[in-house]
Amino acid sequence: MTPQFSAQAAATAVKQRPTQDAPSAPPSPELTVAQAQPSPDTSSADPRATQTNVEAVAERELLQVVTVGHVDHGKSTLVGRLMVDTETIPPAKVQAVRDLCERQGKMFEFAFLLDALEAEREQGITIDSARSFFQTEKRDYILVDAPGHVEFLRNMVSGAARTEAALLLLDANEGIRENSRRHGKLLSLLGVKQMVVVINKLDLIDFDQARFEHLIETYGAFLADCGITPTHWVPVSARGGENVVFRSDKLSWWEGPTLMEALDSLQRAPGLLEGPLRMPVQDVYKFNRKGNDERMIVGRVDSGVLRVGDEVCFSPSGKSSRVKALRVFSAPDPVAAAAGENATVVLEDELFVPRGEMMHHVGGAPLTGQLLRGRIFWLGKRALRVGGVYGLRLGTAELECEVVSVPNTTDAATLQTLYDASSVERNQIAEVELRLTQPIAADFDGGCPQTRRFVLLDGYDLWGGGQLLSLEPLPREGRRAVDFLDDFAWTPQPVAAARWAELHGHGAGLVVLAGDRGQGKAALGQALVTQLVDAGVHAVLLDSANVLGDAPRDTSLDTAREQLAQQLSRTLAPLLGAGLLVVATTNSIGLADHAFLQEHLAVPQLSVLLSPDRNARLVDADVQVFGASNPEQTARELTARVRALVNHEAAATDAR
């Protein structure tokens, strides 16, 4: 057992983490800006001063390449040979694995340098998508060695999804096989535009040039039907090392590039740093201790660079502001955040920005819409069906969607295509049209992968993924009644607020009573309104149950809460527009959504939290009522403060 454990440890070390003797893994281009944060004495410098640091990141190129192909066509062997011949793996490590194979009575394979999982070594297959690093004089490479077995098709898709180019292997002896076609089709689906077709194992056919050219003609025609034109065709023998890194006399007829030369000729896509700013909003933080009342928008910068002073917009809402500061806990505040970094953003304006919105620069907006057309790969146990409702995630946006149509499906195994389908079965590639419950923001073709790729959920199971083909507003004939609400502009009251204040003797105001069920909000609301009316205040009670009782019940919790907050806001608007003081009770949206009301209703507001104990304090509560309370007594204590809120003429006397 000891030799087996040592073999696994040695292979794992080679695959996952180079030793001190080996060249280190290429540095991530996404970390430099964070490391180059200014010291405290330079925090007031011009944000544009970080441009030098940002540009320095891109000096050393990084290219991610996936290797795919049919089972046993030599993917892992080729990658292992490439790493050995470029001396990415030190000779001592290679010799250690050779010695272990000899002690176990196995023939040494270059694939053993990559296949770190015990199941892979025992069965001689690749199960997971292994990541390997090597370098040439031109650039750094990450090679993703994806599995070829149909049982592990999902692993192959996940391995290829983040790469910019592909090495597709064919066995010169076996020729074109089932997975050769399947992987070519999948690479087309995933949008991999650069491909090097490597015809391996030429040693098994005595390096026959005619056989090589026949495979080019046959497989080239298939790839053309998939919309792929290979960048290079390269003949190699991975086991012997012919034409991988070094040329060989056995391929004297070959005048094209070696595999390493072909890789170096590939064009690197524009880096994420050079792309437009894309930061999906993950959450909004607000702390009210020690005088800190900043609203902090947090998220990960997927592409581009965000700097203090930048004017930014949010899609699909269209709200805009300017970046006031970037915050970092327990460290000097940075002046920039680049692709790959988490950012905590403070804006100059107090905006209500929910999770799922996308931050971008002015003039660099993504697409927005509610009718999504995409190409997906479905792995669900149950078929995806037209008319079915599924969950969709794109960036941080999570919502529901309805499958409107399936224009075509292609079986990944047989490559047979069916048009105007009613369902998408497991392991099928399909073009689908989805109607979303609300608009989202996304990108199409090129740019940031995270903002153009999405996943589909059936219940809680993630069973499909794909990329965006188009995103459009809903056409009028395909919209539901609720979708037309956004077409109507709010009509303001014809009487000015000052005139209402003159008539009532006070201005408009809103008191929100929030808390868990059973805390006495309704009783307190009734007592407070009664006492206010007796004092001459034009007050009205609005119980949220009266407003939200008929709310739709076929949406997700997050979507429902947002819709409820909007519905409550619409109901409050005419009452407040008429200069009334409204006391609203709610446990349907709670204080977490009070910020929405604060932004959309421009009147003085007071939030009151009813909680069972003194420590159960929530964000943004102006007043807390804890424990069992007498509603009449509590109402008397609140009345003077509420009257002062709306400048009631007798409030000052009562307060004294």
List the one residue out of 57, 48, 39, 31 whose CA is nearest residue 333. Answer: 39
CA separation for the pair 134, 83 (Å, rounded): 6
* Gap between the Cα atoms of 523 and 529, Å rounded: 10
Q: What contacts 500, CB < 8 A, 6 or more positions away?
A: 493, 507, 508, 578, 579
Name, in order, each residue with C-beta under 8 angstroms of 264's C-beta and a sequence gap of 6 or more. 136, 138, 139
> Cα torsion at 20, 23, 29, 33 (round to 10°)?
40
- Cα distances (Å, whole numbers) of residue 640 to 111, 501, 644, 649, 656: 79, 18, 6, 11, 9
Q: Is residue 5 helix, strand or coil?
A: helix
Q: Which residue, 68, 265, 269, 287, is CA-closest to 160? A: 68
Q: Is 588 noted as a catalytic residue in this protein? A: yes
| Cβ 262 vs Cβ 245: under 8 Å | no
Distance CA 639, CA 646 (A): 11
**For residue 603, how far is the Cα from the chain centroid?**
36
**Number of neighbours of residue 195 by Cβ within 10 angstroms:** 24
Q: Is residue 529 exposed (0-12), middle (13-18) or buried (19+ Cβ within 10 Å)?
A: buried
Task: Check the CA dihedral 243-24-303-48 and report its sign.
Answer: negative
- Residue 292 corresponds to which tokens in the numbers above? 């800190």
SS3 of 179-200: HHHHHHHHHHHCCCCEEEEEEE
Closest CA to 148 of 161, 129, 162: 129
Active-site residue, selected from the candidate residues 588, 607, 611, 629: 588
Q: Please give the structure tokens belonging to residue 554.
A: 């076929």
Residue 395 to residue 280: CA distance in whole angstroms: 6
Residue listed under structure tokens 């944060």? 37
**List of E strands, 548-596:** 581-586
> Within 13 Å, how many C-alpha atoms sit on residue 451's CB side?
33
Give the residue among 486, 489, 483 at the shortest CA–CA distance from 371. Answer: 483
DSSP-based three-state secondary structure for 397 = strand
Q: Looking at the annotation, which residues are catalytic?
A: 588
